[in-house]
Structure 1
Amino acid sequence: MPLAPPTLDTFSRTWTAQILAAPPMILPTRHFTYPQLVPGEEEALARGAMLLNVQPRAGGNFLATCSLGFKDRSLPTGVFACPARDEMLAVAGGYAYLVNTLTPDRALHIQLKPVVAIAAVSPSDEEPTGLLLLAGFHNVLALDANGIRWESARLTWEGLSMTDIAEGKLHGTGWNMMSNRDVPFTVDLKTGAHEGGGFQR
């Protein structure tokens, strides 16, 4: 099954979100900035931010200011539904924030930096709530309805491609520096254990 990029409709959700071009004239009562105070991220807001007006199923709307990881336009930026219906994934310049819209003060700043690609595994008999797959330069992370299910080991020296899903495994390729070629890999969707890949010394 070929992988598809996620949309707001890939998973059912209890919230709505609108990307704003500028701060609203009247700020909502609730306003959250991501990442929260984290050592090493003091300059994140200086790079810019994605602004979201979020309406959860309870608690009233809030403004989310999602700091850009990088200004590189090739990196993903957007808001995505998650396998957990109350959660949203906000990605800004490759920085990913997993936000429970009912408790937005406790967002998780995902440590995969930067996220360079996002793919969805739609709900099915095998994966009842589905998965979101986030790829970095070297490995892949999976989100399910309970949060982070797994983060794979290193799959490549630099750069990887996720191509398709078959028999419960993610298939892709990772670059091997010694041979200067892409090497196929598989990652078990249940455990994150992998076979193959380009990171072979």
Structure 2
Amino acid sequence: MTAEINLPFPHAWKAEILPARPLILPPRHYVYPREVEEIERGALEVLVRPAAEGARPFLATCALGFRDPIVPSGIWSTPSQQELCAVSGGYAYMIDTTAPECFTMIPYRPVLQVLPAVDAGLLLFIASRTILAWGRNGQCWESPKLSDEGVTVHALEGGTLHGLGWNMMSDKESAFSLDLRNGTLVA
């Protein structure tokens, strides 16, 4: 699994992707999700050092979704400076670095692409049919169905996302545009 580090937003933490789980676990170790059998298939191991005064480092063990190279793995900064996004084989976890027991797992299984929309203050999660937008205070919106199987994003222009989605009935790709403020389709 090749993991990438993407830090498009200002962040109040440092993180390192470890090649394997340490033999001796640090005092603060969190497994995401909490009760998971997928850990046996593998995990993304991230050593996180929060910048908050008095905050101690912790190990985040993020269950692997899929081993397919088409799905992303890595860490991203988010619109919230204290939050870290860890993606492990298409399973995406939003982790509060000041309270690592607090996390949200993005409902897409798998996330196929993570796309920062910095000017809009959003981190976008692209799935095969829809897009979910995450902002400073959590989930902002989820798009309507954009495709029967496969969303391709072509451009972010101003406050609009442009892409293509495959339509099963016509057996063709159809262009779409989304308003990044609310996730609605633009005519």
> How does the TM-score come out when normalised to structure 1?
0.85
Q: Deviations over 1:30-58 (max 9, x none)?
A: 00000123xxxx42112210101100113
* Inter-partner Cα distance in structure 1 for 2:5 and 2:17: 14
* Inter-partner Cα distance in structure 2 for 1:107 and 1:136: 20
* Inter-partner Cα distance in structure 1 for 2:51 and 2:166: 44
State how 1:47-196 maps to structure 2 within 5 Å.
47-58=41-52, 59-123=55-119, 127=120, 130-195=121-186
Aligned 8 A contact 2:11 2:81 in 1: yes
**Structure 1 residue 195, shift from structure 2 partner:** 4.5
Q: Deviations over 1:106-152 (max 9, x none)?
A: 110111221001111123xxx3xx21111001000111111111011
Unmatched tracts of structure 2, length 5 or more? none
Would the alpha carbon gap of residues 53 and 159 (structure 1) be closer, same or farther in structure 2, given more than 3 Å must change? same
* Inter-partner Cα distance in structure 1 for 2:23 and 2:168: 52
Aligned 8 A contact 2:5 2:74 in 1: no
The Cα RMSD (Å) is: 1.6
Determine whether 1:46 maps to 2:40.
yes
- Name the amino acid aligned to 1:79: I
* Inter-partner Cα distance in structure 2 for 1:7 and 1:183: 32
Q: Deviations over 1:151-184 (max 9, x none)?
A: 1111100001111122421110100112211100
* Inter-partner Cα distance in structure 2 for 1:143 and 1:104: 18
- Name the amino acid aligned to 2:157: A
- Name the amino acid aligned to 1:96: A
SS of structure 2 residue aligned to 1:76: coil
Segments ≥4 residues shifted beyond 4 Å: none
Q: How many residues align?
A: 182
Identity of aligned residues (%): 41
- Name the amino acid aligned to 1:55: R
* Inter-partner Cα distance in structure 2 for 1:194 and 1:78: 30
**Structure 1 residue 7, shift from structure 2 partner:** 5.3
Partner of 2:26: 28
Q: Deviations over 1:80-120 (max 9, x none)?
A: 10011111100000000000100110110111221001111
- Name the amino acid aligned to 1:35: P
Partner of 2:8: 10
* Inter-partner Cα distance in structure 2 for 1:151 and 1:110: 11
